[in-house]
Amino acid sequence: MNKLTSVESQRVMAVLGDMLDRLNYLTYVPAAPEASLLGLLAENGCPTAALEAQWATEEACAKYDASHHDDAFHKVKVATRSLCRLMRENPVLVNAFFSSPTKEPPDDMLQFIKYLSELTDLSFAKLGKTVEEETTRLEMMDNIYNRRKQAEDELVQLRDKLTELRKAKEDETSHLDIQLQKLKTELSTINKNTANELTLIQTQVKETLDKAFEKQNIDMQALVERHTQLQRKLEADTVEHRELEDSLRKTKCKIGVEVAATIDKYDVEMTALATEIDAIQLQYSRECKELHELSEHFKKIDEEQRRIDAEEKILEGVRAEERRQLQVLHDAATKIQKVFRGRQVRKELASKKKGKKGAKGKAKKKK
């Protein structure tokens, strides 16, 4: 089977869509004439001739016999097509039909429209796909089928595993029930032993309490006697302490008088010391002022002395330089004199040597 072309597919889809729209329009058209609907259409300014022709054609065709069936079908077809074309071209007419209180269409008609709508959607889906898309869809369906089969196999395996787990759980539960029975038996034994021990402990506690009460009574009697003795001692100590308190009070008064006298003496001495301190402080202030003045004076003297020492140091340096220069001159003069005297001595020696030689020559000549 060849694939339809794009134009053919669009034409088929247009035909199916048009047929579905016409059927939807016809569901709102009453099968019998209704004066209220005609009045509503007239109020909205919609033409009613096509609707009246439709009703008239249907009534006329209902009276035809079987031999004129094709002719009647053709007339109804033409009238219906004209009415549907008019409703498509006139939205006001369609709204008037929608707003009219008409009866619900039959269920078989609605079912037929539903199936036709599904067929149209399926046809649109089929015609809108290429061969490659259809092949891809089939492969996807095969993949989904294989995955479903695999999931079913996994479900069977999981059910088997669940059965095994349930069996293991039942075995474990049975084992735990046995342990629970053992624990209940042990608990019953422990409760019995605990009851016996509790009875024994209560007996021991009762005996201990009885002994404690007896001991408490004996201790209470001893404490009462001790309290009586202490009360008597307290009364005796109170009398003794009262006498001692009177003596101490007298001593306190005496000491208080002495302390007051000492305080007065201390105040007098402190007043004298304060006066002396004020005088010393005044003298100290004067001496500090004088010390400050002398410090300033001696500071100036020290500065002057440092200046004089600096000048003396400079002058001493100058004198030392002069002495050095004089010493240099003296040394130079001494050296010059030494050289000069040396020359004179050498000249004298030379002249003496010449004189001796001349005397010797004359002596030889005389001989």
Dihedral sign of CA atoms 16, 18, 21, 23 in order = negative
pTM of the model: 0.27
pLDDT of residue 264: 87
Which has the closest alpha carbon to 81: 18, 38, 126, 27? 18
| Rounded Cα distance, 179 and 176, in Å | 5
What is Dmax (Cα atoms) for the chain? 227
Task: Give the C-alpha distances (Å, rounded to integers) separating 267 from 184, 263, 271, 281, 317.
Answer: 98, 6, 6, 20, 70
pLDDT of residue 42: 67
pLDDT per residue rounded down to tens, the chain (367 residues): 445 566 666 676 677 677 776 766 666 666 666 666 666 666 766 666 776 776 677 666 666 655 566 666 677 677 777 777 777 776 666 666 666 655 566 666 667 667 677 777 666 666 666 666 667 777 888 888 888 888 888 899 998 999 899 898 888 888 888 989 999 888 988 988 888 888 888 888 888 888 888 888 888 888 988 888 898 888 888 888 888 888 888 888 888 888 888 888 888 888 888 888 989 989 888 888 888 888 888 888 888 888 888 888 888 888 888 888 888 888 888 888 888 888 888 888 888 777 666 555 555 554 4
Q: How many CB atoms lie within 10 A of CB 109?
A: 13
Asked whether residue 305 is domain-assigned, the answer is: no
Dihedral sign of CA atoms 137, 138, 143, 148 in order = positive
Asked whether residue 102 is domain-assigned, the answer is: yes
Asked whether residue 366 is domain-assigned, the answer is: no
Enumerate long-range contacts of 353-357, CB under 8 Å, 24 or more apart: none
Query: H helices within 44-89, ranges in order?
Result: 49-63, 69-89
Asked whether residue 178 is domain-assigned, the answer is: no
pLDDT of residue 1: 43
By the 8 A CB rule, do 99 and 40 touch?
Answer: yes
Q: Which value, to the nearest 10 degrees, does the dihedral of the CA atoms of residues 53, 59, 65, 70 take?
A: 30
pLDDT of residue 241: 85
Asked whether residue 54 is domain-assigned, the answer is: yes
Structure confidence by residue, pLDDT tens digits, 272-288: 888 889 899 898 888 88
Q: Which domain holds residue 11?
A: 7-134
Q: How many CB atoms lie within 10 A of CB 29?
A: 19
- The number of folded domains in the chain is 1
In sequence order, which residues have a C-beta less than 8 Å from that of residue 93 and are 6 or more positions away? 41, 44, 46, 47, 86, 87
| Rounded Cα distance, 270 and 276, in Å | 10
Asked whether residue 51 is domain-assigned, the answer is: yes
| Rounded Cα distance, 199 and 161, in Å | 55
Asked whether residue 76 is domain-assigned, the answer is: yes
